Structure 1
Amino acid sequence: MSPTLSPAHNDGLAALEARLREDLAWLELPAPAWVPPRYAEYTRVLDVAIIGAGMAGLTAAAELRMLGIEHIQLFDQANAGHEGPWVTYARMNTLRSPKQLTGPALRFPALTFRAWYEAQFGRGQWEALNKIPRTQWMDYLRWYRKVLALPVINDTHVVRLQPREDGLLALELRTSGDAQTHTVLARHVVLATGREGLGGAYVPAVARHLPAHRHAHSSDAIDFDALRGRRVGVVGASASAFDNAACALEAGAARVDMFIRRSELPRINKLTGIGSPGLVHGFMHLPDAWKWRFLHYSAQSQTPPPRDSVLRVTRHENAYLHLGSPITHADAHADELAIDTPKGRYRLDYLIFATGFHSEIDTRDEFAVIAPHVRRWRDRFDPGAELDNEELASSPDLDSRFAFQERVPGGCPALARIHCFNHAASLSHGKVAGDIPAISDGAQRLARAIASMLFDADRDSHYAALQAFDKAELAGDEWTDADAPSVIDES
């Protein structure tokens, strides 16, 4: 339970915001705007449009602003304050990440969660805090957006992303409640689309013929109250599998069966063991074969669910974990589901698939124009049969600027200005585009790359400005030329 706010706590937050303003002023940030305005069809073109205003989108926008790239806009399909998974389909009680990680703070102490928390609740409460409550993390992100005045348009989703012949990118958008779409133009587009990345929820084939009202993916909106007294199954052993099972149990489900393919739960988070600035900054420069080996091994080892999440389930006597039990068949009957595993048949009322996400860009209607041109890792890299991994193979093959690359050179040059800043970037760049530990490093890498591209694209304008600049720093009367001929007075 979060501590209760008092007027003194509110004063503390005001003092923190004043401190942040002073820190930025001393560092001369944000930098003055320097990108020449671009117009098309009598409208100012966005320098950067960011799709998604969750943690990744906000951090990227903040760093772009710090670099003086001012004309940006974020678009998010969620209601204001509900961006990302934190108060939608994330169902853990607390974050997995240690509380001291600086997350999206961009190396500003006053932007950290700790500073925000202590300003309101005090140092003692911080020291007593074990892990960050999930909903409180969302409160922090709401403050982050407000204190940095980041421009977000909510309740808006992308209908189509369309490159234009003039080099601009057209975003056809629809705002909730509007029958008509509208279009904005941008020079660069950042896809900060979170864990679902370029694809969406992965549901195994065995589920695809089941009635929609009897199953869901863990990322769906689920009415857990409606599961009271019901027999619920959960597929998977991830953190989200245990979190969804716990929600069903806490809502009063009669019984929850968890079907886990592996014969043992994973216990070791392998990537945590090598977490370092070396991994953050070095991964993207590894040879392709080594990138693949690192992420393939990590995927095969799997990330264990948090101990708290497991205990949240196993404390219930009506929770049953079935190891070595992949679902081999599922039937829908008039009033129940019948699920087969190698260990038997189970009858359920509802089934939740906590089976992760895929990155197949071809499945997203809004990317239909660019998807055929996007080069995937499978298009140019063969890891061999021993390291075969379809999820990695479907990852986009990004350049050093998080930008897509063409499958066929010349097929869609605009891809160089569409940046994939989400989970799908992991194989090309490492875990810097979605997870809390390195999100600031990823955002700085992205923003600096876009700044470089914008400057290069406008080099003629910048050169003309260089030539036209005429503010003299010397008046000309500060010296005399010692070698100039003397003036002789002949009078």
Structure 2
Amino acid sequence: MSAASSLPKDLDALEARLAQDLAWLELPAKSWVPPRVIGDRPVIDVVILGGGMAGLVASGMLKRLGVANHVVLDKAPAGQEGPWVTYARMRTLRSPKQLTGPAMGLPALTFRAYYEARFGSEAWAALDRAPREIWMDYLIWYRRVLDLPVRNGVSVEAILPRADGMLDLHCSQSGSTKTLIARHVVLATGRDGLGGPYVPPISNDIDRTFWAHTADSIDFSALRGKRVGVVGAGASAMDNAATALEAGAARLDMFVRRRELPRINKFTGIGSQGVVHGFAGLPDAWKWRFLNYAMGEQTPPPRPSVLRLSAFPQAHLHLQSPITALLQKDDHILLDTPKGRYRIDFLIFGTGFKIELKNRPELAAVSPFIRLWRDRFPVPAGMPNAELESSPDLGDAFEFLETVPGACPALSKIHCFNFPATLTHGKLTGDIPAVSEGADRLARGIVRELFVEDRERHFENLQAFDTPELLGDEWADDDALREPLRKDTDLKC
């Protein structure tokens, strides 16, 4: 029995309501993009890389606007896309439960509608935040009810520009390879979409069996009875530390550079539709000023995550304790901070992610041409920020721009719908609050480009259209029915 078939019957009623809403809104729109074929190979209008939340809502928006010839590719098995049931280790989402996220403005597509259909309105009222496993169930349902074209188990090894301005995608699946031709590619590849997990160089001399990043697959059962260290105090660091203790770790030491844990989520405080729709219109200096300040203040870990960890007596927090040395010795690590030396059996780095294009082999052919913010904007005095400097400079539809105009024209067909787009567009690509607005901006931009590129075909269709609205029998010409006038000679006085 499938997971969907085992859900409560009230979900059937919700799906019926959603279907009615879509019918009343005449959605999805009819397919309108003229098909293209090169030789005997069909061209796909849009290929979306990543079947997580961002990829699904991007697909939903494209389908809504009549771009039917698109596909979503994800290397994970079905139901394991994104972080929610893989390396996310929090009990609940960090976002407030009422955020509408990927619902695209449709009430019946919201998480609240889904949750109440399954568990009832009283359960919703009692809920604090969405359990991450149920959030994943919701995304699986979302994909099914919208009938989104997701293909699982597909890895994209390379994106190669073509002479005709399109893109070749070299894909692998189950040991076989295939090349797809795409007019546009959307990178809905999450937090590490233009790089990967960041681990400080101090780890270079430590064997990989002694450490992991929070984004790695970790066998927590193997940490039972062990002394575990965690570097960092963000949400992921807290959740991984708590998971280790829940798995039976004997001791947990968390090492934090700061004097105290950050307490205030600055961006939440100014969250509004003004920020969602207005950030992209800010002058460059103001965009930098906003994000540099927010990043400097840092985002606090959620209170439930901290309480989950601090409830363990064997959990120890070390503030003002940057790592000054790591030494591998026999079956353990010696970790030094300004406050002392610690013996650690396994170390987890909660040190975030880094934009590093060279870490993305699928982008190797185009990354040398991608314009970054450091190419666009002189770093303001007193506000250096490596992450902002390496962020991509993007166009209105999240498309990459060329450092040297004309050097790689096909680059504009690749759209960066992932976290590094934040400096250009604001927080529209990875977080739940405004992902629908981001997908709408993305899809409308792609639709505009597709229509403009096919203008000759659309004009030909305009000229060829010959279905009459009037059949000629609706109303007769009065003058044509009168008796013909007499000859001029008959009209003489």
TM-score normalised by structure 2 residue count: 0.96
Q: Which amino acid aligns with 1:449?
A: G
The residue aligned with 1:140 is 138
Query: Which of 443, 446, 449 is equivalent to 2:442?
Result: 446
The residue aligned with 1:61 is 59
CA drift of 1:201 comes to 0.4
Alpha-carbon distance between aligned partners in 2 of 1:127 and 1:12, rounded to the nearest angstrom: 18
Query: Which of 37, 40, 53 is equivalent to 2:38?
Result: 40
The residue aligned with 2:424 is 428
Q: Which amino acid aligns with 1:45?
A: V
CA drift of 1:120 comes to 1.4
Alpha-carbon distance between aligned partners in 2 of 1:311 and 1:295, rounded to the nearest angstrom: 28
The reply to whether residue 161 of structure 1 matches residue 159 of structure 2 is yes
Alpha-carbon distance between aligned partners in 2 of 1:77 and 1:9, rounded to the nearest angstrom: 27
Give the SS at the match of 2:45: strand
The residue aligned with 1:350 is 346
Q: Which amino acid aligns with 1:371?
A: S
The residue aligned with 1:105 is 103
The residue aligned with 1:368 is 364
The reply to whether residue 183 of structure 1 matches residue 173 of structure 2 is no
* Residue segments in structure 1 that go unaligned for 5+ positions in a row: none
CA drift of 1:10 comes to 2.0
Deviations 1:124-153 (A, max 9, x none): 111111111011100000000111111111
Q: Is the 8 A contact 1:9 1:119 kept in 2?
A: no
1:422/1:483 Cα in 2 relative to 1: closer, same or farther (>3 Å)? same
Deviations 1:399-454 (A, max 9, x none): 11100000111010111110000001000000000100001000111011111110
CA drift of 1:29 comes to 0.3
Aligned length: 485
What root-mean-square deviation, in Å, do the aligned CA atoms of Structure 1 and Structure 2 show?
Answer: 1.7
CA drift of 1:74 comes to 0.5
Query: Which of 210, 218, 225 is equivalent to 1:222?
Result: 218
CA drift of 1:6 comes to 13
The residue aligned with 2:491 is none
Q: Is the 8 A contact 2:161 2:168 kept in 1?
A: yes
Q: Which amino acid aligns with 1:95?
A: L
Deviations 1:253-312 (A, max 9, x none): 111100001011000000001000000000011001111111111100000000110011
CA drift of 1:180 comes to 3.5
Query: Following TM superposition, where does structure 1 have runs of at least 4 consecutive aligned residues deviating by more than 4 angstroms?
Result: 5-9, 480-487
Alpha-carbon distance between aligned partners in 1 of 2:258 and 2:296, rounded to the nearest angstrom: 11
Query: Which of 281, 294, 301 is equivalent to 1:298?
Result: 294
The residue aligned with 1:252 is 248
1:128/1:8 Cα in 2 relative to 1: closer, same or farther (>3 Å)? farther
Alpha-carbon distance between aligned partners in 1 of 2:39 and 2:343, rounded to the nearest angstrom: 61
Alpha-carbon distance between aligned partners in 2 of 1:173 and 1:477, rounded to the nearest angstrom: 58
Alpha-carbon distance between aligned partners in 1 of 2:379 and 2:325, rounded to the nearest angstrom: 31
1:185/1:6 Cα in 2 relative to 1: closer, same or farther (>3 Å)? closer
Alpha-carbon distance between aligned partners in 2 of 1:218 and 1:464, rounded to the nearest angstrom: 55
1:9/1:192 Cα in 2 relative to 1: closer, same or farther (>3 Å)? closer
Query: Which of 117, 120, 129 is equivalent to 2:118?
Result: 120
Give the SS at the match of 2:299: coil
CA drift of 1:111 comes to 0.4
Alpha-carbon distance between aligned partners in 2 of 1:108 and 1:64, rounded to the nearest angstrom: 15
Deviations 1:186-211 (A, max 9, x none): 11000000111211001111112210
Alpha-carbon distance between aligned partners in 2 of 1:367 and 1:320, rounded to the nearest angstrom: 42
The residue aligned with 1:26 is 24
Compare 150-159 and 297-306 and name the one that shifted more. Answer: 150-159
Deviations 1:302-360 (A, max 9, x none): 00000110011111111111101111111111211111111111110110000001112
CA drift of 1:362 comes to 2.2
Alpha-carbon distance between aligned partners in 2 of 1:76 and 1:233, rounded to the nearest angstrom: 33
Task: State how 1:246-285 maps to structure 2 within 5 Å.
Answer: 246-285=242-281
CA drift of 1:47 comes to 0.8
The reply to whether residue 240 of structure 1 matches residue 215 of structure 2 is no
The residue aligned with 1:477 is 473
Question: What is the aligned-residue identity percentage?
Answer: 60
Q: Which amino acid aligns with 1:274?
A: I
CA drift of 1:385 comes to 3.7
The residue aligned with 1:52 is 50
Give the SS at the match of 1:190: strand
Alpha-carbon distance between aligned partners in 2 of 1:370 and 1:287, rounded to the nearest angstrom: 28
Q: Is the 8 A contact 1:331 1:337 kept in 2?
A: yes
Deviations 1:90-118 (A, max 9, x none): 00001111111111000101101111111
Alpha-carbon distance between aligned partners in 2 of 1:385 and 1:345, rounded to the nearest angstrom: 38
Q: Which amino acid aligns with 1:462?
A: H
CA drift of 1:487 comes to 4.5
Alpha-carbon distance between aligned partners in 1 of 2:252 and 2:340, rounded to the nearest angstrom: 16
The residue aligned with 1:326 is 322
The residue aligned with 1:341 is 337
Give the SS at the match of 1:387: coil
The reply to whether residue 402 of structure 1 matches residue 398 of structure 2 is yes
CA drift of 1:156 comes to 1.3
Q: Which amino acid aligns with 2:213?
A: H
Q: Is the 8 A contact 1:231 1:256 kept in 2?
A: yes
Q: Is the 8 A contact 1:362 1:372 kept in 2?
A: no
Deviations 1:59-95 (A, max 9, x none): 0000100000001111101111000000000000011
The reply to whether residue 411 of structure 1 matches residue 407 of structure 2 is yes
Give the SS at the match of 1:467: helix
CA drift of 1:478 comes to 3.1
CA drift of 1:390 comes to 0.1
Q: Is the 8 A contact 2:15 2:145 kept in 1?
A: yes
The residue aligned with 2:93 is 95
Alpha-carbon distance between aligned partners in 2 of 1:8 and 1:234, rounded to the nearest angstrom: 39
Structure number, greater radius of gyration: 2
The residue aligned with 1:359 is 355
Give the SS at the match of 1:327: coil
